[in-house]
Amino acid sequence: MRWFIACTCLLLTACATSNNALQPTSLAPTRAYDAADQHRNAEANERFNELFGFYENKALHHYVRAVGSRVSAHLPYDFKFIILDTDYVNAFSVSGGDIYITRGMLAHLATEAELAAVLAHEVAHVVTQHSVRNHQTIPATPKFTKFFANWSGTQKFEDGVRQGRTSGAVRGAAQQDELMADRLAIDYLKKSGYQTSAVLGMLRLIESVQQLEKELATYVESPKFNGQMLTGHPAIGQRYAEVAKWTETADVVQNQRDRKRYLDIIEGMEYGNDIQDPRMYALGTNDMQQQQSQQLRIQVVAAGDGETYAELSRYCRLQNNAEAIVRTLNRAYPEGEPQPGQLVKIVK
């Protein structure tokens, strides 16, 4: 769920937005990146396009760029926000200012504020130059291993990937770097008018996905599913406790409005097209013929009175673990049930 090279990554929490349509903004004077930064951007763009491809949805790209521009408008840097066409749940940053977020991450976010939190966290990695010196844990599949080993140019890095861990010069992002990025993200959210509590939501998302990955280990034998999604990052409990000291109390009414707005935007987004990803069997989307004839998509429904996630998951066209997937998409894994009228993401 998290990987890198000359990049770094992160995740999110809740928000407050204007009723006006978001437009990309750039208020601060742009600070130029050096030649090495520009080279990293170009190489990352080429490799990520080869590895995942870019998600072809102009409206969604415009939305993500608008949110990213809003949280970074006060900074003297130029950023580019890009959606990767993969179900992996992650976000990445390159030292040259390119910020990548996956379609899988967008599917799991709950509000626009959480999207802002994720992007702000990655922006912080660029500003503090964590993206230059950190290497992240990555999925231990041959394709990823080859890709990231080629990028780093070190056998040590490839060996670390195969062992599901990193150390020394090929470690995951330093714990202090992650906490610093969390702290700066809160500052960026406050400056841009988002609720700072969204960072806590981001951390709950990480925890929920990690729990699901442990369950998927029953179905897929892979180091990817051993709870090592964020190797090198502070434990979620420790990180949550630190972030909670810095955030403000969430506005429940604003969160509900924000969630409705966000779900309206991502509804219809594709889900489950990583056909060569062994995780797709466990996620119930490994039927290639089914995917080619009927692309799975995110759909938003209102929970009925007394309706459970188990009942809602029956509407999903997923072969395995439908309830666990629906719960994770809605931040309710492994337990909890929706309230009557609550908007719930399912996959159809």
Whole-angstrom Cα distance, residue 204 to residue 196?
14
The secondary structure of the chain in percent helix, strand, coil, rounded to multiples of 5, reads 50, 10, 40
Task: Give the pLDDT confidence of 74-84 residue by residue, as tens digits.
Answer: 999 899 999 99
Quote the pTM value: 0.78
Does 187 score more than 70 pLDDT? Answer: yes
Does 45 score more than 70 pLDDT? Answer: yes
Q: Which residue has the higher pLDDT, 200 or 317?
A: 200
Does 26 score more than 70 pLDDT? Answer: no
Does 21 score more than 80 pLDDT? Answer: no
Does 151 score more than 80 pLDDT? Answer: no
Whole-angstrom Cα distance, residue 134 to residue 25?
29
Are 213 and 220 within 8 A, CB to CB? no
How large is the average pLDDT for residues 31-42?
A: 76
How would you classify residue 329: left for phi > 0, otherwise alpha for psi between -120 and 50, otherwise beta? Answer: alpha
| φ and ψ at residue 94, rounded to 5 degrees | -115, 145
DSSP 266: H
Q: What is the pLDDT of residue 293?
A: 54
Q: What is the pLDDT of residue 202?
A: 94
Task: Give the pLDDT confidence of 310-328 residue by residue, as tens digits.
Answer: 999 999 988 788 999 999 9
List residues bridging with 101 in a β-sheet: 83, 91
Q: What is the pLDDT of residue 182?
A: 94
Whole-angstrom Cα distance, residue 317 to residue 294?
10
Whole-angstrom Cα distance, residue 175 to residue 160?
18
